[in-house]
Amino acid sequence: MNALAATNRNFRLASRLLGLDSKLEKSLLIPFREIKVECTIPKDDGTLASYVGFRVQHDNARGPMKGGIRYHPEVDPDEVNALAQLMTWKTAVADIPYGGAKGGIGCNPRDLSKSELERLTRVFTQKIHDLIGIHTDVPAPDMGTNAQTMAWILDEYSKFHGHSPAVVTGKPIDLGGSLGREAATGRGVVYATEALLAEYGKSIKGMTFVIQGFGNVGSWASRLIHEKGGKVIAVSDITGAVKNPNGIDISELLKHKEATGSLKSFSDGDSMDPNELLVHECDVLIPCALGGVLNRENAADVKAKFIIEAANHPTDPEADEVLSKKGVIILPDIYANAGGVTVSYFEWVQNIQGFMWDEERVNMELKKYMTQAFHNIKNMCQTHDCSLRMGAFTLGVNRVARATILRGWEA
């Protein structure tokens, strides 16, 4: 089941639990606006190349729309739509005053030079500058984009609208980016894990962890779990997988990856089959990579007691059922990886106030938001007698529905 189908299914289940009016349910699913633009740029060799850019703005009942821009060869409108909708529920779960959006350009950033990427980003910004804005829609980095991409968007947007640092988040620190933004998603995952384990009278210290994905989120989550006394016993990324039953020294692994660009031939651990990683014996499994990695093929063999969804949509609905029957506790993506958008919100707030926080305050506020959201989800689970995933979805959907009704959606 693809991301769109799964998101729609979760939304419908939540809507049933909440007893939403069928007309309201329908109107909540329809995106506010879908933008498609053609971006033509001169390549470095003088030839012209054309790329299709998208922006789906899903809902603005609770505030400006928020969501990433990805540069990826398979940016498909259906997926962008699903991710925009997911951002609507995610921002509502975290209780930050935003709606959902998502965008992207169908291109392979690896095939483009830096100057080509800059030209492409600027043309895209020129085409959508009057449809985004500080109080309208605030983009952020996603797959294939980074702080530099945001800097170009900010500069191009400011040519039309004057200096506007709050128009994008995930910016370089020198241009109004927030301290702590880099580690935010991984740190949020750790705060979410702590909140969940505390429910069961456990803590990170002494528990065993398996982490799939060692990019931004996976490496920060591993590092912080390691610092808190958790045992990370297996890690994988696209280059390979490494295990050590006594716990991997994460700082050494980070150095090794920095030096060699790969997890292979790491001295402090044995290499393993990356496919075996998800079914490795552990207390907590954290998928931080691609969607759909837990499916009907491998779900029955998962040995973890807790799964923390740091990736978007890592668990197929079929796997969800199998795992629930086994009594595995799944902390849903819509909450678990909300640390990134929460610190994006802090960055936006700091830019609007023209007053920047120190990193300690950013992390303290993030912990407060993640912990509060967990308790709100638990309350929904008790009210509706449902799983954590449905608790999170009912929480998010209910907040958006209430805002929509209060604003007078039928008028």
Beta carbons within 8 Å of 34's beta carbon, 6+ residues apart: 54, 55, 56, 57, 77, 81
Tokens of 77: 């409108």
Number of neighbouring beta carbons within 10 Å of residue 9: 12
Position of tokens 């023209």?
A: 354
* 128-159 b/e (C-beta count within 10 Å ≥ 16 → b): bbeebebeebbbbbbebbebebbbbbbebbee
Burial (CB count within 10 angstroms: exposed 0-12, middle 13-18, buried 19+), residue 348: buried
* 234-268 b/e (C-beta count within 10 Å ≥ 16 → b): bbbbeebbbbbeebbbbeebbebbeeeeebeebee
368 labelled catalytic? no
d(CA 167, CA 171): 10
Q: Whose CA is closest to 33, among 10, 56, 63?
A: 56
d(CA 225, CA 308): 13
Number of neighbouring beta carbons within 10 Å of residue 162: 7
Tokens of 298: 């491998």
Query: Of the listed 66, 90, 102, 171, which one is catalytic?
Result: 102
Number of neighbouring beta carbons within 10 Å of residue 276: 14
DSSP, residue by residue, 161-184: HS--GGGSSS--GGGTPPTTTTTH
Number of neighbouring beta carbons within 10 Å of residue 357: 18
d(CA 147, CA 170): 6
Beta carbons within 8 Å of 263's beta carbon, 6+ residues apart: 214, 235, 236, 237, 239, 240, 241, 242, 253, 256, 257
Tell me how far CA of residue 114 lies from CA of 109, 149, 169, 202, 294, in angstroms: 9, 10, 21, 47, 36
Catalytic residues: 102
